[in-house]
Amino acid sequence: MATINDNYLKLKAGYLFPEIARRVNAFAQANPDAQIIRLGIGDVTEPLPDACRHAMIQAVHDLGDRTTFKGYGPEQGYVWLREKIAVHDFQARGAAIEADEIFISDGSKCDTGNILDIFGRNNIIAVTDPVYPVYVDTNVMAGNTGEANDKGEYGGLVYLPVTAENNFTAEIPQQKVDLIYLCFPNNPTGATATKEHLKDWVNYARSQGSIIFFDAAYEAFITDPELPHSIYEIEGARECAIEFRSFSKNAGFTGTRCALTVVPKTLTAKAADGSNIELWKLWNRRQSTKFNGVSYIVQRGAEAVYSEEGQAQIKALVSFYLENAQIIRQQLTSAGLKVYGGVNAPYVWVKTPAGLTSWEFFDKLLQTVNVVGTPGSGFGAAGEGYFRISAFNSRENVEVAMQRITEKFSINFP
């Protein structure tokens, strides 16, 4: 009889967001007249920028003409897109990244999991707590962990607590770790990292021979000129970091799917025989074997982001969501809640009141004011007692949701 990958059996009962959907659906069925506002999952709501949409339409026309038709594209992505990314997103900020070090993909969520394909099973892996669940769950699936304890922490992982006391930025571990997941601006806490903080991590990684997985999916929301957008703005990062980015949030590509991973050619790791192996070659082989590339239509849409029109439109889109975040911060603060994030980031991290657990606060918001957020405990043990609210929604929904909370908070949340 065929056997399964038993590592899947270690996974906790439900992935965070399906569990949220289950509870919301049950409530909606029991209360069909409830007008539920979802500020939980970080999916965008506003239309694609016109520049991207028009470029995609033109790309469809290209496919209707034999002379401009495109079939299989390069697994790494079309060079005309990678060149624009290299110039605008990295070189313009002093980061020495070349086009052939950029791999176009269908999502940074996918890549942060798939990257494990090129690493061994004996690495010591560090994650922040709270953490984006994909980082942990994909390591569980790959067999890099033991069983979960009562707090949901998996054996074999090194958890780095991020709390209000350390400004939600993980401290350098005392022990040696091999693979390190960092996300800034952070999901879920909305925290940002200074150049000095990232420099400490780069120095640590270089001294230990570690690799940093740097998730910069929300870098477009950074407005502070002193904050780095890429880890490659830090000297030495080319020798110790892989960076993941996405068009999902800055350009609204959550449905059309386009992202990128940067693997510098100067990055190496050890083989079993002790030799140094270029990770670029391994990732290139992995993508060439397991991935057929992002569609021509979508890549043309992504290329339009870098046009003059596209740059103006995505700036307006990012500003819109940041204004939502500001409204959420202000209104929740006025309601007496302690809030973090929401500045240079699209997520607001809320301390739950009156000793409520994260899921108790979730249920109370849903049942009392019909507003959905994300329980902090779903992101890790250190997320207990917190709650994430996403700024990705329409202005009307954000304003109505905040009005409901501020008007009923003092009555229902002492």
Q: pLDDT by residue for the chain (414 residues), tens digit each?
A: 999 999 999 997 566 778 888 999 999 999 999 999 999 888 999 999 999 999 999 999 999 999 999 999 999 999 999 999 999 999 999 999 999 999 999 999 999 999 999 999 999 999 999 999 999 999 999 999 999 998 889 999 999 999 999 999 999 999 999 999 999 999 999 999 999 999 999 999 999 999 999 999 999 999 999 999 999 999 999 999 999 999 999 999 999 999 999 999 999 999 999 999 999 999 999 999 999 999 999 999 999 999 999 999 999 999 999 999 999 999 999 999 999 999 999 999 999 999 999 999 999 999 999 999 999 999 999 999 999 999 999 999 999 999 999 987 655 555
Within 5-144, where are the H helices?
16-30, 50-63, 79-85, 108-114, 133-141
pTM for the complete prediction?
A: 0.96
Strands (E), 140-239: 157-161, 179-183, 211-215
CB 181 within 8 A of CB 215: yes
Q: Which two tokens mark 372?
A: 């959905």
Q: What is the pLDDT of residue 12?
A: 77
Nearest alpha carbon to residue 305 among 53, 43, 44: 53
Q: Choose which CATH entry (1.10.357.10, 3.40.640.10, 3.40.50.2000, 3.40.50.300) describes domain 51-306.
A: 3.40.640.10
**Pairing label, strands 179-183, 125-129:** parallel
Task: Tell me: is residue 274 an annotated ligand-binding position.
Answer: no
Indicate the burial class of 100 (C-beta count within 10 angstroms; 0-12, 13-18, 19 or more). Answer: middle
Share of the chain above pLDDT 90, in %: 93
Task: Tell me: is residue 388 an annotated ligand-binding position.
Answer: yes
Q: Which two tokens mark 29?
A: 């069925």
Q: What is the pLDDT of residue 237?
A: 98
Task: Tell me: is residue 247 an annotated ligand-binding position.
Answer: yes
Task: Tell me: is residue 107 an annotated ligand-binding position.
Answer: no
Strands (E), 263-337: 268-270, 276-278
Strands (E), 264-307: 268-270, 276-278
Q: Which residue has the tokens 């949030």?
A: 249
Please state which CATH number belongs to domain 6-47+310-407.
Answer: 3.90.1150.10
Task: Tell me: is residue 108 an annotated ligand-binding position.
Answer: yes
CB 299 within 8 A of CB 306: no
Task: Tell me: is residue 248 an annotated ligand-binding position.
Answer: yes
Task: Tell me: is residue 257 an annotated ligand-binding position.
Answer: yes
**Pairing label, strands 386-390, 157-161:** unpaired
Task: Tell me: is residue 288 an annotated ligand-binding position.
Answer: no
Task: Tell me: is residue 246 an annotated ligand-binding position.
Answer: yes
CB atoms closer than 10 angstroms to residue 306:
17
For the chain, give every residue range classified as CATH 3.40.640.10: 51-306
Task: Tell me: is residue 72 an annotated ligand-binding position.
Answer: yes
Instruction: Give first-to-last CA distance, the chain, whole Å.
Output: 57
For the chain, give every residue range classified as CATH 3.90.1150.10: 6-47+310-407
Task: Tell me: is residue 292 an annotated ligand-binding position.
Answer: yes
